[in-house]
Amino acid sequence: MQASVARCKACKAQGKSLMIQVIVFENKRLTYLDQRFLPLKEVFVHTKDYRKVIEAIKTLAIRGAPLIGIAAAYAAALAVQAYKGKKSGLKRYFYHALSELDAARPTAVNLFWATARARAAFNRVYEQSDISTIAKAILEEAEAIHQKEVQNCDAIARHGTELLRRDFAHQLLQRRLTVLTHCNTGTLATGGIGTALGVIKQAYLEGLIEKVFVSETRPLLQGLRLTTFELEKEEIPYQAIADSSAGFLFQKGMIDLVITGADRIAANGDTANKIGTYTHAVNAAFHKRKFYVAAPLSTFDATLSCGEEILIEQRAGTELTSIYGRNVAPQKTPVLNYAFDITPATLISSIITERGVAEPDFKTSLAQIAAETKVLHHD
């Protein structure tokens, strides 16, 4: 912990944001930070078993849409690396491993995007390569995905900061801004500086933000446990709030804007994000405040026309009725525990991507950004 704080101060002195090491592939094994124990302790897990990565994704030891994609790609590499049979059985084995990965979480599209890239990399080299060469190709693809997400976060932070300067030019002549964020969208969720939290970090370093309000994010407290953990390390002023108190803070004029991440974005701009996001968007709209979404293009799913088509994960009721293993409700309490909700595009002011900012009408602007990106990738 002391080393992390020292790195933080060094980065801050250079006008940079801290990069917490949350996932690393070295010596044929994956090391990841088990986020279920934060902020009480930092527990790193080392594994060569892709199934352990699947379990980590299911249990939220690894979480956050971009980081899930990174972990899934590395898990695919681990799967090939562990294969001991003949090459004739490799494809069936590998495809089964990918299907197991796809079943880990249903909402975050980055997971399926990463496994699709792993499958494509496999098929490119399968016919002409031996198993060791195939394993190397899958690992290289995973490393490329990881590096790209880090770069995406840097670009999102840059575009987001420029957007704040544009949209709040008048206010910034008088004072710095207060921002509300929900869930965790920083290094712990992305492997890079972060998406929404990356924008906040960069904007703070550039003197645009005064303070961050962090909603607790019930029932698993990703805001209270994880976002505060990152802001504390980077010495960014913040206050944690109960999810249900945000409306009152809006009413009192204490919040200038909201910025969140996304786990999946439909073609029309409807956004799936951690449960409670929609409530913040409604509050922002009613109080005439900007509501921004920051997410990489890997989060977009052009196959879905609108948010109604996004599959929303339901999780165990015990996440709501118990806290750190202690029951806080009657034993037989029935629970409806949606992990995500849908924020309609009509409530979103702008969507910040690594390729620029999409404005309403999102169906047109997102399609244009996606098309331009494909052209650049082909170049």
Q: What pLDDT does 374 receive?
A: 64
Q: What pLDDT does 236 receive?
A: 98
Q: What pLDDT does 373 receive?
A: 73
Q: Which residues contact 39 (CB under 8 A, 6 or more apart)?
A: 225, 226, 228, 229, 232
Cβ 193 vs Cβ 157: under 8 Å: yes
Q: How far apart are CA 356 and CA 375, in angstroms?
A: 15
Gyration radius from the chain CA atoms = 21
The percentage of residues in the chain with a pLDDT greater than 90, rounded to a whole number, is 90
Catalytic residues: 263
Q: What pLDDT does 325 receive?
A: 84
Tell me the β-bridge partners of 177: 209
Q: What pLDDT does 297 receive?
A: 94
Q: What pLDDT does 224 receive?
A: 97
pLDDT digits 0-9 by tens, 353-371 = 999 999 999 999 999 998 8
Strand stretches in the chain, DSSP E: 23-26, 29-34, 43-47, 177-181, 209-215, 238-241, 257-260, 264-266, 271-274, 290-294, 300-301, 322-323, 326-327, 340-343, 350-353, 356-358
Say what the pTM is: 0.90
pLDDT digits 0-9 by tens, 23-79 = 999 999 999 999 999 999 999 999 999 999 999 999 999 999 999 999 999 999 999
User: pLDDT tens per residue, the chain (379 residues)?
Assistant: 333 333 344 445 445 555 678 999 999 999 999 999 999 999 999 999 999 999 999 999 999 999 999 999 999 999 999 999 999 999 999 999 999 999 999 888 899 999 999 999 999 999 999 999 999 999 999 999 999 999 999 999 999 999 999 999 999 999 999 999 999 999 999 999 999 999 999 999 999 999 999 999 999 999 999 999 999 999 999 999 999 999 999 999 999 999 999 999 999 999 999 999 999 999 999 999 999 999 999 999 999 999 999 999 999 999 999 988 899 999 999 999 999 999 999 999 999 999 999 999 999 999 999 888 764 443 3
